[in-house]
Structure 1
Amino acid sequence: MSHLEDKISAPKPVQGSPEASGQLDDLLALMARLRADCPWDRKQSNHSLIPYAIEEAYELGEAVQSDDDEDIKSELGDVLLQVVFHCQMYAEQGRFDMSDVIRTLQEKLTRRHPHVFEAETLKDDAAVKVRWDEIKAEEQSAREARGKPKRRLDSLKAGSALMQAQEVQKQASKLGFDWEGVAGAFDKLDEEIAELKNELIDKTKENAKYNISTSNIKEIEKELGDCMFALVNVARKINLDAEAATLTCVHKFKSRFGYIEEQLAIAGKRLEDSDITEMDALWEAAKQHERLL
């Protein structure tokens, strides 16, 4: 049994100026100190850290692609920070600590590799994958026996919001919950955009247009999410990957904005010295430059 039966206590904060020892216990004590003495760290919650965990995972992926050891070490450390940060806060809540997380991982890895730790023999990586999925299914059955029923969309893998949205829609479509063609997806997108616009209008002012009131910012967020979800549905219906399409747009924007910065530098100017009119003209020039490449 886990020591969860005992009272969980958070690690004690390190005293003085800590040294980089490379030891996990010292890292946990450092995190405890940050939670105690840093205003930003102190105000965080497990939910507020979610975007940072996602961001760090993506940055690790980019570092691995770059194959730069210093970048990789730094980004692995940032991912580890998210684990340590979450464990510190859950320990403060008396729920579990780092040793419970490590123990759970060790048990899972041993359980899912019977071909390594038991007598099973699997001939190749494909067979290992099949057995892995079988063991995961057995684990799910055990969870259901503990009163945690599996719903059809609960097993989808986590990913970016766009990736999850497209996969949820794909699985729902397999179960018959979908429009026959793209027209229905476009109609839904138009509907959601109209609802977003309606929320953006400050109804307390006559002839107001897109005057955002902070009193309904949560509703605006919900409607914006509905618009994004509906647009992903359009991508799915025309067999495009929403994540890939968005990344293409991000890279395009970065490239064009970089062109603006370069052209301003040639003219002896900085971005801060320019205005929207000049930058917009250079943006159009960047688009023309792309066509020549």
Structure 2
Amino acid sequence: MSILKKQISAPTAVQGTPAASGELGDLLALMARLRSDCPWDKKQSNHSLIPYAIEEAYELGEAVQSNDDEDIKGELGDVLLQVVFHCQMYAEQGRFDISDVITTLQEKLIRRHPHVFEAETLEDEAAVKVRWDEIKAEEQQAREARGKPKRRLDNTKAGSALMQAQDVQKQASKLGFDWEGVSGAFDKLDEEINELKAEIVDKSKDEINANIADIEKELGDCMFALVNVARKLHLDAETATLTCVHKFKSRFGYIEEQLAAAGKCLEDSDITEMDVLWEAAKQHERT
């Protein structure tokens, strides 16, 4: 007996000005309309949305920490938007739609909770975690049976690029792919920085723009090498970067406050004045 493949079609776009009904079907129709009529939405691809999905997940985490219901609702909506946006585009490609995504999730949740939906009994949270990992291993075996072999670095942690880079390096190190000390990591960082410079220094703007894809790769190599330095020093690259972001925001806030005290705003200042205040901010931190 032949099994008919499901025909995938994108949702029908809503006409006129839609109402905020709270219904999933209306949201899908609204997304279809945006893909049809909004220049920015039409331009996007599944790959172009990746940074936004990561950003929204982080913003949701911050909103939950704030415990502000309005912020949490807004950020949950932004995460849902990413899911709906991706599903819309995959439906347009005829690959799958949101019902397939929901079905896959439901199947996974049922499969990974035999202690809830079957006769299996697990005594505590630790036992649930052990069984969860066993089921994931069984799922991996099924993927391998479908021709998707498991590779040694497939189980590295998901997260930001810095987090993934550090975990990939950690796992590779366990397999013997590493330098003895930090000096090798520094040498590699110098090598990658020089390669990046070679793509940029003494090049015209047109040359740089024409070669921007290769420049992006070289920049990524530099970032990856710097993470290696952090790992060899037993430092967390994500934490170090977040510390720097916080420091930058604090110092820039000091500049803004000092300008405001003088009756000025950032737009009234220039780089020379702001640089003086930047150094003052550093001194303010020390004292």
Aligned to 1:98: 98
Aligned to 2:230: 235
218-227 or 92-101: bigger deviation:
218-227
Which runs of structure 2 are paired with 1:110-149 in the superposition (5 Å)?
110-149=110-149
The answer as to 2:186 corresponding to 1:191 is no
CA distance in 1, matches of 2:49, 2:126: 36
**Aligned partner of 1:64: which letter?**
V
243-252 or 123-132: bigger deviation:
123-132
**Aligned partner of 2:193: which letter?**
I
Q: Specify the SS of the correspondent of 2:62.
A: helix
Q: Specify the SS of the correspondent of 2:81.
A: helix
Normalization by structure 1: what TM-score?
0.95
CA distance in 2, matches of 1:211, 1:257: 33
**Aligned partner of 1:197: which letter?**
K
Contact 2:28 2:88 (C-alpha < 8 Å) held by counterparts:
yes
Which runs of structure 2 are paired with 1:8-87 in the superposition (5 Å)?
8-87=8-87
CA distance in 2, matches of 1:237, 1:184: 10
Q: Where in structure 1 do 4 or more consecutive aligned residues deviate above 4 Å?
A: none
Q: Specify the SS of the correspondent of 1:107.
A: helix
State the Cα deviation string for residues 23-68 of structure 1 (Å, max 9, x = none): 1001001001111111110111101100100000000001001110
Say how many residue pairs are matched: 285
Structure 2 residue ranges without an equivalent (≥5): none
Aligned to 2:210: 215
Aligned to 1:265: 260
Aligned to 2:247: 252
CA distance in 2, matches of 1:26, 1:237: 51
**Aligned partner of 1:46: which letter?**
N
CA distance in 1, matches of 2:28, 2:213: 36
- Over the matched positions of the two proteins, sequence identity in percent amounts to 85
CA distance in 1, matches of 2:211, 2:258: 42
**Aligned partner of 1:57: which letter?**
A
Normalization by structure 2: what TM-score?
0.97
Structure 1 residue ranges without an equivalent (≥5): none
The CA RMSD measured in Å over matched residues stands at 1.5
CA distance in 1, matches of 2:240, 2:207: 29
Contact 2:157 2:163 (C-alpha < 8 Å) held by counterparts:
no
